[in-house]
Amino acid sequence: MKNIAIAILLVAAIALGAVCLHQQTQLTQTQSQLASVQSQLKKKSEADEKTMFAESRAKMLQNALTETAAAAGEQSKQVAQLQKSLVATKTNGANPFGEMSKMFKDPAMKEMIKSQQKAVMGPMIDKQYAALFQQLNMTQEQAATLKDLLQKKMLAGADAGMSMMDGSLDAAQRADLAKQTKSATDDYDAQIKQFLGDENYPAFQGYEKTVPDRMTVSQFSDQLAGGASPLSNDQQQQLAVAMNDARTSFKWTTDYSNKNPSSGDYASMFSEDKINQFTSEKEQFDQQFLTRAQQILTPEQAAAFQQFQTAQRQLQIMGMKMAANMFAPKSQ
């Protein structure tokens, strides 16, 4: 993971989503089962023995539903509190991420988050690396092997992000954690290089640099899917390549996409001045790239893309400010 601070925010989002999804799925399934049984009871057309069995089962399901609803309600309160903490500022030296930090120390919660991460990463790799698999003429077995290595590499960064959620860590401990993560991801890169060989590895390196832009374009494409002006595959490819070229050639003064402080001093990395500078540069970049994107998109698509840019930029700036709160010195 190139940027652990950003990985932390992604882990938090996955965690909150996992909690809500887990509880909502349980509740929905139980409600569906209960409705089915209650429908059977209304008919009252079978023998008393079967009816008694159905009533008994309904009662059990009703109890399960009550318990699940209670758990979901309690979990919703916890999620609401955590979300409130995410946007709170530090007061009286307190860490607004304290509750989330406690949650990430729970072994059961950490395992659930890891499970959700694996569930998310698999389809994501299939979607974002499909073009590379095709470019390298990989068999299904070869693609599966590379996918496994990519997933392990990503999980190493995600694990680091989870560990970074511990509010008790100081700058030195975070620096050590960053070094350990780099060592782990470098090891997976070495395995990928060995698997692909010297001939194909440069193609992999070049492609991997475009993945963040491909993910952005994929999100925009999903937003337009099913509407009157969906993106064609050719448009998606052109937009991703153009975005990567523009992003890597732009003269960023403050660039969070590829850097981690070697000292572990993330507080300085996310200072108010640097966030403001990044905000100004991001607005400038988005406006410049919009002009380029208009050459690829239809007028309707371009208008939607401009709104997409604004929403994405606002979320990114919010993420920077959340990171600033997380890494601010405890004395503040």
How many Cα neighbours within 13 Å face the side chain of 324? 19
How many angstroms separate the CA atoms of 239 and 52, rounded? 63
Q: Give the C-alpha separation, 310 to 55, whole Å.
A: 55
Contacts with 220 (C-beta within 8 Å, 6 or more apart), sequence order: 231, 239, 304, 305, 308
Residue recorded with tokens 């309707």 = 300
In tens digits, the chain (332 residues) has pLDDT values of 445 544 554 555 554 444 444 444 455 555 555 556 556 655 555 555 555 545 555 555 454 444 444 444 444 444 444 445 444 444 444 444 455 556 666 677 767 777 777 788 888 899 999 999 999 999 999 999 999 999 988 888 777 766 766 666 777 777 787 788 888 889 999 999 999 999 999 999 999 999 989 999 999 999 999 888 999 999 999 999 999 999 999 988 876 665 566 556 667 777 888 889 999 999 999 999 999 999 999 999 999 999 999 999 988 888 778 777 766 665 54
CA contacts within 13 A on the Cβ side of 259: 12
